[in-house]
Structure formats: structure tokens, C-alpha cells
Chains A and B, each alone.
Chain A
């Protein structure tokens, strides 16, 4: 609801701006060129009409993906019937023609903008299939993440000139896929990815305010940090703790005034994504068994001495960013920001303490602390949801709460109760809990208005 209203607001404002500018032009305050430049700034808002035309855009994009897949399958299936020059001719012909038509419709004539953009998107997909098909024709069996990287670079260049949000999202997706295959499949540390994400954020995502691409970039970066820490330490506990510190930094970054004021959507995305990830890791830490594996700890501190520096620098950067932002938040003198900064700081201190002391203490203490911490954060997220009138925060908090209740029920009562009582009890608990939570949820959301 809120989003739609804000969109209508923007359209109203733009209408006003266009009327005013016509006056300014007549009065000679601004020139024709200046008026075009000013309108150009708001092109995205003018173009992105809600609902019906968005549907056209989505259908066009889906269509272009289908056509791209069809071309690959057609060429791959019928290739013995074609000579190599014919195959190459088809690959290059389709590629150049699609790009040319796309450019002509969307950016030259501007009469079929959506179709033209979809064709340009198809061009990027055809470039990727060109890479794959040429590899197939000549039996090139290169290190396959490289294929994703080159495809991503091709896509990046097109995104840079067209500033098309779908192509930007595709670019980020390709880079993320490249990084995941490189790190998870080939165990390669990949520092280049970090640089490429920063460049993409600066040159593509921030200027265009592309939300999907931003979400993908944040997820890609979180996965990068986790896989990198995991490669360095070979331990979920150590990499998980490091990741929570990094996520704390990310959450506080979402509170930066520049994001909150100018790019409210980005602030929301970055904060909810990092909270989700924090909850997932804390959830893993609520199990007692996970704290018993002292081996990881020994292994980490004794045998990975050359990686202290890598690990330390990644987590250290997270720590420094968190501290700077926490101080910044506390200085704003808004009670909720101060509380939030205290919670994040507490979380970070908890994780650092855990990293240093975990091997020395019994597994029960961290289990209790993390269970309390988990529930505390659920309440915290509800508080944020109420403050910001956001259903997304409230629903996700309740989701994490239900997951916890069900898990603990299985954890502690499965052995204690008779099997039939276990299931009856569980069923009743779920029925009652479901009703209770739904009532609470409705109440809170009603109160939000």
C-alpha cells in the first residue's frame, strides 16, 4: 500500500515539475537543453509506471530468456547438420542483429522502449550462449567459472552504457555465480570479486537505484565473506562468528543517513537481509551439540597461523565499520538508534568473546546465551517493525520465533515424552501457538494502521 502511494506521490510531483519547467523555459530561466537534462534525471521514475506496463516489461524479459534458451537448444541439437562456418555465422548474426534491433527500438527511435530493452537483454544472454557454443564447437574445456566471469564482464559493459536495471541485475548475478563456483567448487580465494562488487555498486547500482541488483549484490557479498572465512578456517563456528560481526557492520551501514534519506529502499533491503542472516547463524548456535566440537578450535588456532592475518583483516574491517557506525548512531540522540547500536555492539562483543573463549567453557553456557540472544533479537526485530510500520520485519520475527519453538520442542521433549504424547502435545502446541501468534500479528499490524 505504502509503496503504491509513494509512487503516485512521485508521479504527482513529476507532473508538477514538468508544468513548472514549461513556465521556466518560457521565462528564459532555463534552456531547452537544461530542461531535457533535468527531466533525464527522473527518466527512471517516468518510465517505471506500475502494474500494467511492469507486466509488459516482465513478459518481454521472460520472452527474451526463452528465445535465448531456444537458440542454444536449436544450435546444440542440430549441430551435426550444420557446417562450422554456418554455426559461427548464426551465432554472430543473431548476436549482432539482436543488439542492433534492441538499441534501435529502445535508445534510438524510443518507440518500443520495453521491447527494445528486452532485446538488448536477450543480446547479453546470446553473448553467454555464444561463449558456450564456441566452447562446444572447438572442444574448449576451460576452467568453467572463467566462462561466467567473461560473460559477466560482457554484461557489465552493456549495463554501463544502457543503465538498464535488468541487465545490471544479470551482471551482478553472473559475478556472484562466478564467485560461488570459484570458491565453493574450486576452493579458490577470490579477492577480485570484492573489487568488482564495489565498482558495480559505484558505477551501476547507486546511480540507477536498481533495487533487485542491490539485493543480489548484498547477498553476493555476504556469501563471499562466508565462503572466504570458511576457506581460511575450515570451521563453521569460526566463519559463522566472523560473518555475524560483518553482518553487524552491514546493518549499521543500512542506517547511514545517506541511505536512509536518499535511498530508503536500499536501507530497508540491507537491514532486513543482514538481520535475516544474523538470525540464521544464531539459530545454528542455539543447538548445544554445535558447541561441543572443540576440534575446530584447536585446528584453527594451531594450524592456520598464516591465515590469522587474512581472517583478522576481514573480521577486523567489519569490527571497525561497526564501531564507527555505532558511535555515529549513538551521537544522533534518537533513543531507538542508541538502543539499536547497543544491541549490535552487544552482539559483536558476544561473538568476539565466543571466538576467544569457546574452547575453555562447557557447551551449556554458550547454548543458554545464544538461545536468550536469539529470542532477544526476535523481540528487537518486532520493535523495529512497530517503529517503522513494516510488516516485513514483524512477519520475519514471528517466523524465526516459530522455527525456534518447534526446534526446541523436538530438541528437548522428543526423548522425554512418550511418542504419542509427543505428537499430540506438539500438535496442540502448534494449533494454539498458530492462533495466538496470528491474533498477535493482526493486532500489531492493525495498530500500525
Chain B
């Protein structure tokens, strides 16, 4: 170390840095939750029995899997279809397409509120930062990967979707309460599950609350 500090001072600085890092984690999230615009996102109904792992809920959003055909995008997915998504070993070949994976590390997703349902839907998923009009919000999705889905009964027609992580995929619940939540969701399986999310102006996200059949889950 170039600096000549006493080890006591060095040690104090390191503790300070660790504490500072934790505080930064808190403040960036607080900033999103306090200043962000509140939107409602539909979670795709999944089997509630697999919804709980340990003591947190896995939230699988509709916007986590974007059908590339249906939104406006500058990702050149049409080229991928033949090169990356056909034949055995294609999944690994996709992962080996390092250039593409690097490109998809950060994807801008624009949402718009649908009337009359009030749910927010994907308008575009782009690598370039989009212009955000009134009534729209921009999110940042990370670690994008192209996945293939086959519709039941139409095995020859695959849909290419862009899978993104938003950092809001888990919701923690008190230990021991998991079973109760699970039962509740299982008995309300047909009900819609929505998540209230805050979006700040930089595209950061934070969870404000989880709603099952318009009723907020309370701890």
C-alpha cells in the first residue's frame, strides 16, 4: 500500500467502507421506493405449490418473458432463429454466443398502461435508450437471454422470447408464514396476483406490495 496509515486507521476506514456500502444499498432502494412512480404488474399465474421456496415468494412477471415478435425492438432476433435456436445443443450454443449475451446484459423496456384493465404492458424492448412519452415508464432489465417456447398443439411453431431479470423477482415473507400464504394462494388460485412496483426515473425498481385478488398481503 502506497499510503502510510497506521493499521488502526486502516481498520477504521475498512469498517467505514463496509458500513457505507450497506447504507448505499439501502438508500438507492429507498430512493426508488420514495420517488418512483407506482405501477401494477401482473404476475403470470404459476402453480402455487412451487411458488414458495424457503421463506420467500418467487414472482414471475408477465414482463419477464417478452415475445419479441409482438413488441418493437432493435434486437436482431430474426437472425438468431436459424443460427442459435435449432437442433441439439442450441441452448449451450446460445450461451456461447458471447457477443449476443454481452449485448443483452442491459435492455431498456418501455411499458404503457392499458385501459381499461389498468395493467402495464410492454411496448418496446430495446438496446438503445428510448424516448419516454407521457403515460409510459422505462425499466432496465438485465442478463437477457433468448428462450424458445412451443405453444401446446403447435410444436412446429416456436415463439422466441426475451427473458429478463428486473431484480424484483423475490418477495420475502416471515419464517413459518410460507405455508399460510401458500394455502391462501392455493385456495385463490383463479384470482389474479398483482405486484405494486415503484419505478424511479433511472429505471430502477422496488416492490411496494403484493396483491392477491386486490387484497394486499400483510406480514
Contacts and interface: CB of A to CB of B under 8 A. Distances in A.
Nearest to B14: A157
Contact of A303 (B7, B25, B93, B168): B93
A162 interface: yes
A95 interface: yes
B11 interface: yes
A139 B168 contact: yes
Contacts of A188: 101
Interface stretch (A74-82, A338-346, A437-445): A74-82
B93 to A, nearest CB: 7
B167 interface: yes
B143 A143 contact: yes
A154 interface: yes
Contacts of A127: 18, 22
A349 B33 CA distance: 61
Given A150-B21, A231-B95, A232-B96, A161 B14 contact: yes
A108 interface: yes
A80 B175 CA distance: 9
Contacts of A130: 18, 22
Interface in B77-129: 89, 92-93, 95-96, 98, 101
Given A79-B174, A234-B96, A95 B7 contact: no
A142 B11 contact: no
Nearest to A310: B98
A184 to B, nearest CB: 12
A296 B153 CA distance: 33
B53 interface: no
A306 B101 CA distance: 14
Interface string B170-198: 11101110000000000000000000000
Interface residues of B, number: 41
B146 interface: no
Contacts, number: 97
A141 B170 contact: yes
A139 B22 contact: no
B99 to A, nearest CB: 8
Contacts of A136: 56, 172
Interface in A180-194: 186-189
A131 to B, nearest CB: 7
B71 interface: no
B15 interface: yes
Given A134-B25, A189-B98, A141 B167 contact: yes
B165 interface: yes
A70 to B, nearest CB: 14
B206 interface: yes
B134 interface: no
Contact of A103 (B8, B18, B167): B8
B19 interface: yes
B53 to A, nearest CB: 12
B96 A80 contact: no
A158 interface: yes
Interface in B1-29: 1, 7-8, 10-11, 14-15, 17-19, 21-22, 25-26, 29
A399 interface: no
B143 A88 contact: no
A107 to B, nearest CB: 7
Interface of B: 1, 7-8, 10-11, 14-15, 17-19, 21-22, 25-26, 29-30, 33, 55-56, 89, 92-93, 95-96, 98, 101, 142-143, 165, 167-172, 174-176, 206-207, 219
Q: Which 9 A-B pairs have the closest CB atoms?
A: A187-B95, A138-B29, A141-B170, A139-B207, A80-B174, A157-B14, A161-B10, A136-B172, A141-B169
